[in-house]
Structure 1
Amino acid sequence: MARFVNVAAGQLGPVARSETRTEVVARLMALMRQAHANGCDLIVYPELALTTFFPRWYMEDQAEIDSFFEHEMPGPQTRALFDLARELGIGFCLGYAELAVENGETHRHNTSILVDKRGKTISRYRKVHLPGHAEHEPWRRFQHLEKRYFEPGSGFVVADAFNGAIGMAICNDRRWPETYRVMGLQGVEMVLIGYNTPVHNPPAPDHDDLSLFHNRLVMQSGAYQNGTWVVGVAKAGIEEGVDQIGGSCIVAPSGEIVAACTTKGDEIALARCDLDLCNSYKRTTFNFDVHRQPHAYGLIVERRGQHMMADGTPVPSGKSGRGL
């Protein structure tokens, strides 16, 4: 029996620094209602969807920084979104800044969660590939201080959800082939990616005209090379003076874009995703068990404290270091 998931890419336009959580959640709920009216099982929201993209500012006051973080999820201002999901019977993926206290220690992450049709969180992902810088760089027109405000996550997890194998990634993760391959090796069938990407790249302004092309390039290649659907969803438009690329789209396992947003505002793009279409690629061109030859790559990884080759065999005598 075919496994179809009707998906909405829930793009957001700019979120002002003065906008409250309640106001933003109302926008998310409006998009959720549109997705439900179009028969969707799942809506995917952008990275750091609940606030403006605050790493563009250098801040030293920890209380000011923490005002952008969620101390619990759902919390008083976000519970309405979970309640609506349960009422409508639709799942969602939401990106936000997470403040977590674990074993008495406070940690801050750039996080996404996957929520099922009952309004229950079934998977959490913390961004691994943090871009930008950690200290104030006054020469920039705007900052990109993710390395200052967040800790990196520790891995990519694929969850059984929506009758398939669903993974998550966030923004800069999408640029790295390891992101898709680690999930591809777990049999992923759909990768959900929220992002906030400025048009202007201060260290490499010659890339600016290519920003939208590069955005699609990495998601399309990641989809094709791992036989998976990819749903990429932006916060778009001119936010606090910074132009963001938009370009939200849904990519098939063939690498083809099958749906895309056409504005830089609040909008949904829709696709009926056949998860069984992944098998056409996973069992032929990208059948890892038959065609992939990791022993020939010369890569060395550390697994459970022991150095191993990428295919899981012990490191040969005389080799050391890590390559992934």
Structure 2
Amino acid sequence: MARCLTIAVCQTGPIQRRATRAETVGRLVHLLEKAAAAGAEIAVFPEMALTTFFPRWRIDDQAEIDAFFEASMPGPETQRLYNAAARLKVGFALGYCELTQENDRTRHFNTMDLVGLDGAFIGRYRKMHVPGSSEPEAGTTTHLERRYFEPGNLGFPVFDYRGVRVGLAICNDRRWPETYRMLCLNGAEVALLGYNTPLLLDEAPALAHLRMFHNHLPMQAGAYQNTLWIGAAAKAGLEDGQALIGGSCIIAPTGEIAAQAMSLDDEVIVHRADLDLIEVCRKVNFNFALYRRPDQYGRISEPV
């Protein structure tokens, strides 16, 4: 019998700054219900799925900053989503802003949690490739993620989800080949990721026509080169004056886009992922045990 996992990608339209957590969580619950009705076994939500993408602004008041973060997960406002997972028997991956205490330090991470179909916590990933700057830079689209977030400190863990090995990634991680390779080497069969990506970049207007192409290209290459299924959820539409790209998708280990969102609003796409296809793709091109020679990669040639 074929091994399969039915994946849902839950794209959201814009989440404006004025939206309350209760309103936003209600939208996510509705998307999870739609995913369950379509037969999904696991769903993925976008990066920072509970708030607007606040790093587009410089904010100095720490209390105002911390209001975008979750001090516990689930918390009083997010428990509804976990309860819905248990009721619907659908697990999920959720991107959010994490506020935590470690070694007597207050720390801020861009985080994604994997939650089981019983609504219980399975595992956590913290974004490794934090882009942007800590101060606004003239002529560039303002992304001050490095002002508000530390780089992740959990590596690229892979978790067991009903017998399927699932890894997580967030936004800028998808552009780096190391992300997929580390997940693959750690045994991932499925990678779930969320992103918030602007439609236009002030620093590169000539590349505007390539934004969606460059959005999908590294994910398709990562899926193909590492024989992974990928589910990628965007936040889309005009959010607090900034246009976000959308293009949520599910990608096969062949590198093909198996399903793609067509709107810039709340939308669920679902695909039944054939996990046996992973082994087929490995036999064709990526038999790592046969072809990869890690002992050779670090060898430095002597100068001539």
Q: Give the TM-score taking structure 1 as reference length.
A: 0.90
Paired AA for residue 100 in structure 1: T
CA shift, 1:284, in A, is: 3.6
- CA deviations on 1:93-134 (whole Å, 9 max, x unpaired) are 100000011222111000000100000110100000011111
| Alpha-carbon contact 1:248-1:261 (below 8 Å) kept | yes
Structure 1 equivalent of residue 277 of structure 2:
277
Q: Distance in 1 between matches of 2:219 and 2:190?
A: 12
**Stretch of structure 1 that moved more, 40-49 or 287-296:** 287-296
| Alpha-carbon contact 1:5-1:162 (below 8 Å) kept | no
CA shift, 1:2, in A, is: 2.0
Q: Give 1:23-34 correspondences, 5 Å limit.
A: 23-34=23-34
Q: Distance in 2 between matches of 1:207 and 1:132?
A: 18
CA shift, 1:139, in A, is: 4.5
CA shift, 1:196, in A, is: 0.3
Paired AA for residue 229 in structure 1: W
Paired AA for residue 207 in structure 2: H
- CA deviations on 1:201-252 (whole Å, 9 max, x unpaired) are 2222222221100111111100000001011110001111111110000000
Structure 2 equivalent of residue 63 of structure 1:
63
Structure 2 equivalent of residue 72 of structure 1:
72
* Residue 11 (1) aligns with residue 7 (2): no
Q: 3-state SS of the aligned residue for 1:236?
A: strand
Q: 3-state SS of the aligned residue for 1:212?
A: helix
Structure 1 equivalent of residue 142 of structure 2:
143
Structure 1 equivalent of residue 158 of structure 2:
158
CA shift, 1:143, in A, is: 1.6
Q: Distance in 2 between matches of 1:295 and 1:134?
A: 39
Q: 3-state SS of the aligned residue for 2:96?
A: strand
Q: Give 1:1-324 correspondences, 5 Å limit.
A: 1-137=1-137, 139-140=139-140, 143-154=142-153, 155-298=155-298
Q: 3-state SS of the aligned residue for 1:135?
A: coil
Q: Distance in 2 between matches of 1:246 and 1:192?
A: 16
CA shift, 1:185, in A, is: 1.1
| Alpha-carbon contact 2:7-2:43 (below 8 Å) kept | yes
Q: 3-state SS of the aligned residue for 1:83?
A: helix
Q: How many residues align?
A: 302
Q: Distance in 2 between matches of 1:60 and 1:260?
A: 38
**Stretch of structure 1 that moved more, 12-21 or 200-209:** 200-209
CA shift, 1:282, in A, is: 2.5
Q: Give the TM-score taking structure 2 as reference length.
A: 0.96
- CA deviations on 1:173-193 (whole Å, 9 max, x unpaired) are 000000000111122110001
| Alpha-carbon contact 2:227-2:254 (below 8 Å) kept | yes
The structure with higher relative contact order (CA 8 Å, sep 6+) is 2
Distance 1:61 1:199, change over 3 A: same
Q: Distance in 2 between matches of 1:205 and 1:128?
A: 27
Distance 1:206 1:295, change over 3 A: farther
Q: 3-state SS of the aligned residue for 1:95?
A: strand
- CA deviations on 1:274-298 (whole Å, 9 max, x unpaired) are 1121111223411111112334444
Q: Distance in 1 between matches of 2:138 and 2:204?
A: 16
Structure 2 equivalent of residue 313 of structure 1:
none
Q: 3-state SS of the aligned residue for 1:283?
A: helix
| Alpha-carbon contact 2:129-2:151 (below 8 Å) kept | yes
Structure 2 equivalent of residue 306 of structure 1:
none
| Alpha-carbon contact 2:139-2:203 (below 8 Å) kept | no
Moved over 4 A (4+): 316-319
Unaligned stretches of 5+ residues in structure 1: 299-308, 310-315, 320-324
| Alpha-carbon contact 1:3-1:163 (below 8 Å) kept | no
